[in-house]
Amino acid sequence: MTLSQRRRDARHDWWRGATIYQIYPRSFMDANGDGIGDLPGITSRLEHVASLHVDAIWLSPFFTSPMDDFGYDVANYRDVDPMFGTLDDFRALVDRAHELGLRVIIDQVLSHSSDRHAWFQESRQDRTNPRADWYVWADPEPDGNPPNNWMAAFSGRAWTFDARRRQYYLHNFLPSQPDLNFHHPEVQQAQLDNLRFWLELGVDGFRFDVVNYYFHDRALTDNPPMPRERVQPGNPQSYQFQQHNIEQAENLAYLERVRALLDEYPGSTTVGEIGGNDPLPTMAAYTAGDSRLHMAYTFDLLDSTGDARELHEVLARFRELGDDTWPCWALSNHDVERSASSWGQARALLALTVLCSLRGSLCLYQGEELGLPEAELAFEDLQDPFGINLWPEVKGRDGCRTPMVWDETANGGFSDHGVATWLPVDPRHRPLAVTRQAQDTDSLLHRVRRLLKQRAGSDVLRRGDQRLIAPEALPDGVFGVIRTLGDRRLLCLAHLGHGDTPSDIALDGLAAGLEHGHVLDLPGMPTPQRQGGALRLSPGAAAWLDLS
At residue 235, the pLDDT reads: 75
Average pLDDT over residues 80-107: 98
Nearest to 272 by CA among 283, 285, 258, 257: 283
Nearest to 271 by CA among 337, 352, 211: 211
Provide the pLDDT confidence category of residue 308 given band limits of 50, 70 and 90.
very high
Nearest to 101 by CA among 139, 175, 51: 51
Q: What is the average pLDDT value for the chain, to the nearest integer? A: 94
Active site residue 264: yes
Q: What is the DSSP letter of 82?
A: T
Q: From the CB of residue 101, how many other CB atoms can be counted at a distance below 10 Å?
A: 11
Instruction: Judge whether residue 151 has pLDDT over 60.
Output: yes
Nearest to 161 by CA among 179, 172, 147: 147
At residue 10, the pLDDT reads: 52
Cβ atoms of 276 and 242 within 8 Å: the answer is yes
At residue 515, the pLDDT reads: 65
Residues 6+ apart with CB under 8 A from 495: 475, 477, 478, 502, 503, 537, 538, 539, 540, 541, 542
Cβ atoms of 506 and 536 within 8 Å: the answer is no
Integer-rounded Cα radius of gyration of the chain: 24
The CATH class that applies to domain 3-111+185-218+236-385+396-455 reads: alpha beta
Nearest to 216 by CA among 299, 159, 297, 298: 159
User: Which amino acid type is present at position 17?
Assistant: G
Nearest to 182 by CA among 250, 128, 245: 250
Q: Which is it for strands 361-365 and 19-23: parallel, antiparallel or unpaired?
A: parallel
What are the tens digits of pLDDT across the range 169-182? 999 999 999 999 99
Distances (CA, A) of 435 to 405, 407, 451: 9, 5, 19
Instruction: Judge whether residue 347 has pLDDT over 70.
Output: yes
Which of 38, 89, 209, 337 is flagged as catalytic? 209
Same topology, domains 3-111+185-218+236-385+396-455 and 464-546? Answer is: no
Nearest to 353 by CA among 481, 215, 200: 481
Average pLDDT over residues 413-431: 96
Average pLDDT over residues 31-59: 98
At residue 514, the pLDDT reads: 67
Instruction: Judge whether residue 427 has pLDDT over 90.
Output: yes
Which of 88, 139, 186, 264 is flagged as catalytic? 264
E-state strands within 343-382: 361-365
Length of the chain: 548
Side-by-side strand order, sheet with 503-506? 503-506, 534-537, 529-531
Instruction: Judge whether residue 62 has pLDDT over 60.
Output: yes
**Burial status of residue 376 (CB atoms within 10 A of its CB: 0-12, 13-18, 19 or more):** middle
At residue 507, the pLDDT reads: 85
Nearest to 431 by CA among 452, 417, 412: 412
Cα gap 84→64, rounded to integer Å: 9
Cα gap 480→462, rounded to integer Å: 17
Instruction: Judge whether residue 2 has pLDDT over 50.
Output: no
At residue 7, the pLDDT reads: 47
What are the tens digits of pLDDT across the range 367-411? 999 999 999 999 999 999 889 988 888 889 999 999 999 999 999
Euclidean distance between the first and the last CA atom of the chain, given in angstroms as a whole number: 39
At residue 72, the pLDDT reads: 97
Cα gap 44→38, rounded to integer Å: 10
Buried b / exposed e across 470-495, counting CB within 10 Å, b at 16+?
Answer: ebeebbebbbbbbbbbeeebbbbbbb
Buried b / exposed e across 171-182, counting CB within 10 Å, b at 16+?
Answer: bbbbbbbbbbbb
**What is the model's pTM?**
0.96
Distances (CA, A) of 288 to 12, 188, 244, 268, 321: 17, 22, 22, 17, 10
Active site residue 209: yes
Instruction: Judge whether residue 452 has pLDDT over 80.
Output: yes
Average pLDDT over residues 138-165: 96
Phi and psi, residue 290, nearest 5°: -125, 25
Buried b / exposed e across 381-404, counting CB within 10 Å, b at 16+?
Answer: ebbbbbbeebeeebbbbbbbbbbb
| Domain edges within the chain | 3-111+185-218+236-385+396-455, 464-546
Average pLDDT over residues 220-249: 91
Q: Is 165 helix (H, G, I), strand (E, B) or coil?
A: coil
Instruction: Judge whether residue 517 has pLDDT over 80.
Output: no
Q: Which residue has the higher pLDDT, 323 or 199?
A: 199
Task: Give the CATH number of domain 464-546; options: 3.30.70.1020, 2.60.40.1180, 3.10.180.10, 3.90.226.10.
Answer: 2.60.40.1180
Instruction: Judge whether residue 5 has pLDDT over 70.
Output: no
Instruction: Judge whether residue 476 has pLDDT over 70.
Output: yes
Cα gap 345→347, rounded to integer Å: 5
**Burial status of residue 217 (CB atoms within 10 A of its CB: 0-12, 13-18, 19 or more):** middle
Provide the pLDDT confidence category of residue 4 given band limits of 50, 70 and 90.
very low
Instruction: Judge whether residue 526 has pLDDT over 80.
Output: yes
Side-by-side strand order, sheet with 295-297? 295-297, 269-273, 205-208, 103-108, 56-59, 19-23, 361-365, 328-330
Nearest to 203 by CA among 107, 329, 77, 76: 107
At residue 233, the pLDDT reads: 72
